[in-house]
Structure 1
Amino acid sequence: MESCHHINVFIVDDHQIVRDGVKALLKNVEGIKIVNEASNGQEAIDLIRQNPKDIDVVIMDITMPEMDGVQATKLILKEFPKINILALSMHDDKLHLISMLKEGAMGYVLKTTGKSELVHAINRIAGGQSYFDRQASGKLLDYLSNKDKRKKTAEGELTSREKEVLMLIAEEMTNAEIAEKLFLSPRTIDTHRRNLLQKLNVKNTAGLVKYALTHEL
């Protein structure tokens, strides 16, 4: 980045006190300029649309009324892919972290973070790099290592009959069609389907199909 260029920062949080706090922290930091703020995702999108070229980094809260940070991140990046998003949250659970990452956030810091770490995070994200505070990094590593374990366990637990049923479900066959093909009763297929949902930890048929496709079954 050229030294003459400020990193233009947009703050999105439904609490005025948090927005004021972030502004106070960043007020005299060289190279960083607060250009706007919003109290929810929808307001943020409306304001960004007026002047998207003026924004480098959006500091995004997650839990907000009207439109939360996850949905706002998704919509902003769909429309303005050059904007970089840093999640600033009071939540340190995996669900919020993974949701934000899946929608394209480049970093994640907790609201307990200090000034120097926040400045460091903004600088990294403005430069197109990712940044996660220590707690978020730990949670992310934990999630990724468990994901591999879960995948292996789930597939190892499937019987050959269940794998067969899963493949036919992925081919969009109904319980009755699968039963006919495998010479089993529809009730038996229904039991296999329920077992698959439980073992693979998915909610519905779409989840089963997605699992079969992503794991190349």
Structure 2
Amino acid sequence: MSDDIRVIIADDHPMFRQGLRALLEALEIGVVGEAENGPAAVQLAHDVQPDVVVMDLHMPGGNGIEATRTITRTSPHIGVLVLTMFRDDDSVFAAMRAGARGYLLKESGAEEIARAVRAVAAGEAIYGPEIARRVLTYFTDMPDPRKSAFPELTDREREVLELIAQGRNNGEIAGILFLSPKTIRNHVSNIFMKLHVADRAQAIVLAREAGLGT
């Protein structure tokens, strides 16, 4: 095989395994083993040491998530590419947390599957278009932990605290925010009161622990 990529297919449907094997071999990607459930995939991966395991998620006798976690923990050089019918967020993120480098739906085209296998074998992370959009949406919609760290502060007070955490003095903060020094002093006093700190040093410690000022 021109690519010298060695693949194991883990899926509980023999016909699907047969079809995927034929597809990959036609594209010069070698299939060195097949498994019908998670434990069998783990054992085969241990014995054969392939470059990639193409893993279904839901199989009787042991699911693909646990198999992926075990394979990536014991043999981190082996890449796991999930190929499944399941597109729900729980499945996608469970696979990512388990260490899968890629996630495709079974409706993907032959070239897309082959490209993903090669990418995973090369150490890259790859996701089908729908899965990539789902992942991007998830991270885009995640709340900023810096904004949720001190819910008792107003937006302006949080801005002031951010600058305090950067080591700015009141005069510098006033210039940056185009506010009067007196207004900044009032904001600083309110911040100290709300955070129950006695001085600037304690406020800086709290703010930096929450990720502000970096």
TM range (shorter): 0.5 to 0.7
- Secondary structure at the aligned position of 1:96 is classed as helix
Equivalent position of 2:70 in the other structure: 75
Q: Call closer, same or farther: CA 1:19–1:146 in 2, change over 3 Å.
A: same
Of 16, 38, 43, which residue of structure 2 is paired with 1:41? Answer: 38
What's the TM-score, normalizing by structure 2?
A: 0.66
Equivalent position of 1:24 in the other structure: 22
- Secondary structure at the aligned position of 1:87 is classed as strand
For residues 114 and 46 of structure 2, the distance between their equivalents in structure 1, rounded to whole angstroms, comes to: 25
Alignment of 1:119 onto 2:114: yes
Q: Work out which of the two has the higher radius of gyration on C-alpha atoms and give 1 or 2.
A: 2
Asked if the contact 1:8–1:33 (Cα under 8 Å) also holds between the matched residues in 2, the reply is: yes
Identity %: 32
For residues 210 and 95 of structure 2, the distance between their equivalents in structure 1, rounded to whole angstroms, comes to: 23
Q: CA deviation at 1:112?
A: 0.1
Moved over 6 A (4+): 156-159
Asked if the contact 1:97–1:108 (Cα under 8 Å) also holds between the matched residues in 2, the reply is: yes
Is there any run of 5+ residues in structure 2 with no aligned partner, and where? 154-208
RMSD of aligned alpha carbons: 2.2
For residues 69 and 158 of structure 1, the distance between their equivalents in structure 2, rounded to whole angstroms, comes to: 44
Equivalenced residue count is 156
Q: Call closer, same or farther: CA 1:16–1:157 in 2, change over 3 Å.
A: farther
Q: CA deviation at 1:154?
A: 6.2
Asked if the contact 1:62–1:70 (Cα under 8 Å) also holds between the matched residues in 2, the reply is: yes
For residues 147 and 12 of structure 2, the distance between their equivalents in structure 1, rounded to whole angstroms, comes to: 41
Equivalent position of 1:92 in the other structure: 87
For residues 104 and 130 of structure 1, the distance between their equivalents in structure 2, rounded to whole angstroms, comes to: 10
- Secondary structure at the aligned position of 1:88 is classed as strand
What's the TM-score, normalizing by structure 1?
A: 0.65
